[in-house]
Amino acid sequence: DFGHTDFGLEDLPLRDDLRGQSPYGAPQLTVRAVLNTNENPYPPSPRLAEAIGRAAAEAAAGLNRYPDRDAVDLRRALADHLGHGLDAANVWAANGSNEILQQILQAFGGPDRTAVGFEPSYSMHPIIARGTATGWVSVPRTARFEVDAADAVAAVKEHQPSVVFLTSPNNPTGTALPLETVEAVAAAAPGVVVVDEAYAEFRREGTPSALSLLPIHPNVIVSRTMSKAFALAGARLGYLAAHPAVVDALQLVRLPYHLSAVTQAVARTALEYADELLGAVETLRAERDALVDWLRAHDFEVADSDANFVLFGRLPDRSEVFRKLLEQGVLIREVGPPEWLRVTVGTPEEMALFRDALLTATGRA
Ligand code: PMP
């Protein structure tokens, strides 16, 4: 404390809207089953880890220079990966999709502007709104955690937001949105509509991505990440697809050289191994569907999931269930509506641990 024992947060010129707030974050604990942050449980293969290491070493040889400020090669590779006729001009990349979302609010939100979200949803959306001094309007989802298209359009007309957040599949509920809802909101919105598709790769058959709307609705922005299906949360790489004008706008707020040369090299190498990295997605989807069935068979209420996690209830004292799971080495997430908990889909071994621990924790064993 350098001798200033009485000095604390209250002595700093902290913004009034940040006083009393706590930092966002889930516990980082070493336990038998870490099922709380929707990561992919399968690490890169030794072959891929080595390839990433080689790419990082090559980048290291040039670290006296700033990286490609526009990350053009990486954006081209991401566009090729997405398909849909996209090219580098349609794609932007940043350090995780959280940074993508922050740049979107820096460019399109701000004082005297409003963002609308449909909650329960990803709690970083309002936090990033606050950080960029953007007003936040929360519209409730239906009892089944869906977004009612008419409610959504009415809210957009009433609040005239410069940014709308639609999360599909939604975190923490797993719910995906029909394209018609996204289209209705995009047609009514005076500003941009961000479709946060962090979990897109886990969608069930027949659930569409909003990527197909980009040619029709130039105000739609689709946000994606390599942190989930791509099994690369530690590398921090998020990206978006949108009209090139959106990318031009974000360049006005991005910090120069925000994506390190190492990050760019690692992400490009990972994209070359996309098939391998995405190889576990089928397994995880099947494990997810089996988990939903198992929970329902044991009389839990379960939200339909198009993601790599499942929201289940109803637990009159969810904190107690959370604690009893943790006592058995199973870490899940206390998030979402009061009587529900969220569990990430892990390996078969981790899910077996979870199932046993849950039966014990809820007195069903
Ligand atoms: N969007 C949603 C819906 C998420 O759940 C997450 C991660 N929890 C993110 C964005 C951000 O992930 P990242 O910054 O790792 O891309």
247: in domain: yes
Are residue 196 and residue 287 in the same domain, yes or no? Answer: no
Burial tier of 259 (Cβ tally within 10 Å: 0-12, 13-18, 19+): buried
Confidence of residue 211 (pLDDT cuts 50, 70, 90): very high
pLDDT at 2 (0 to 100): 75
Of 36, 40, 98, the one to substitute when testing ligand 1's pocket (max ligand atoms within 8 A of C-beta) is: 98
Nearest 5°: the CA angle 111, 91, 161 is: 25
**Cβ of 90 less than 6 Å from ligand 1:** no
Cα(238) to centroid(ligand 1), Å: 8
In this structure, the answer to whether residues 67 and 122 fall within a common structural domain is yes
| Last residue of one domain, picked from the residues 272, 307, 332 | 272
Listed residues 218, 243, 272: the one ending a domain: 272
Please check whether residue 121 lies inside any domain of the structure.
yes
The CATH number covering residue 285 comes to 3.90.1150.10
Q: Would you state the pLDDT for residue 184? A: 98
The DSSP annotation for 203-215 comes to PPTTPPPGGGGTT
Ligand 1 atom at minimum distance from 236 CA: 15
Would residue 17 count as lying in a domain? Answer: no
Reference 97, options 207, 249, 200, 210; nearest CA is 200
Sheet of 341-344, strand order? 301-302, 309-313, 341-344
Average pLDDT estimate for 288-299: 98
Three-state SS at 195: strand
- One domain for residues 105 and 190: yes
- Which atom of ligand 1 is the closest one to the Cα of 101? 10
Closest by CA position to 189, among listed 113, 93, 107: 113
Looking at the structure, do residues 161 and 263 belong to the same domain, yes or no?
Answer: yes
159 and 119 inside one domain: yes
d(CA 356, CA 354): 6
Same domain, yes or no, for 125 and 208? yes
CATH number of residue 221's parent domain? 3.40.640.10
Residue ranges of E strands in the chain: 33-34, 91-94, 114-119, 135-140, 163-167, 192-196, 220-225, 238-241, 301-302, 309-313, 330-331, 341-344
Last residue of a domain, one of 245, 272, 299: 272
Question: Are 104 and 211 within one domain?
Answer: yes
Q: Is 227 in the pocket of ligand 1 (CB under 6 A)?
A: yes
The band of 1, judged by pLDDT with boundaries at 50, 70 and 90, is low
Verify that 301 and 190 share a domain, yes or no. Answer: no
What single DSSP character describes residue 9? G
pLDDT at 87 over 70: yes
Count: domains in the chain: 2
**Which ligand 1 atom sits closest to the C-alpha of 233?**
15
Span 116-175, pLDDT tens digits: 999 999 999 999 999 999 999 999 999 999 999 999 999 999 999 999 999 999 999 999
Nearest CA to ligand 1 atom 5: 171
User: Burial, 70: exposed, middle or buried (Cβ in 10 Å; 0-12, 13-18, 19+)?
Assistant: middle
Structural domain including 331 reads: 25-40+279-361
What is the percent of the chain with per-residue pLDDT over 90, rounded to a whole number?
Answer: 95
Evaluate whether residue 5 is within a structural domain.
no
With contact defined as beta carbons under 8 Å apart, do 174 and 309 qualify?
A: yes
Per-residue pLDDT at 179 exceeds 70? yes
- For the full predicted model, state whether its pTM sits above 0.90: yes
Are residues 132 and 114 both part of a single domain?
A: yes
C-beta 96 within 6 A of ligand 1? yes
283 and 266 part of one domain: no
Question: Which of 101, 166, 228, 309 has the most ligand 1 atoms within 8 A of CB, as the residue to mutate?
Answer: 228
- Residue from 124, 221, 239 to probe ligand 1 pocket by mutation (most atoms less than 8 Å from CB): 124
116-119: which pairs have CB atoms within 8 A and are 24 or more residues apart?
116/155, 116/156, 116/159, 116/161, 116/163, 116/164, 116/165, 117/164, 117/165, 117/167, 118/147, 118/152, 118/165, 118/166, 118/167, 118/170
> CA 212, CA 200: separation in Å to the nearest integer?
13
Substitution site in 38, 128, 171, 177 for ligand 1 pocket (most atoms within 8 Å of beta carbon):
171
Q: Does 337 lie in the same domain as 193?
A: no
| 313 Cβ inside 6 Å of ligand 1 | no
Q: Do residues 259 and 133 both lie within one domain?
A: yes
Residue 92 has pLDDT above 90, yes or no: yes
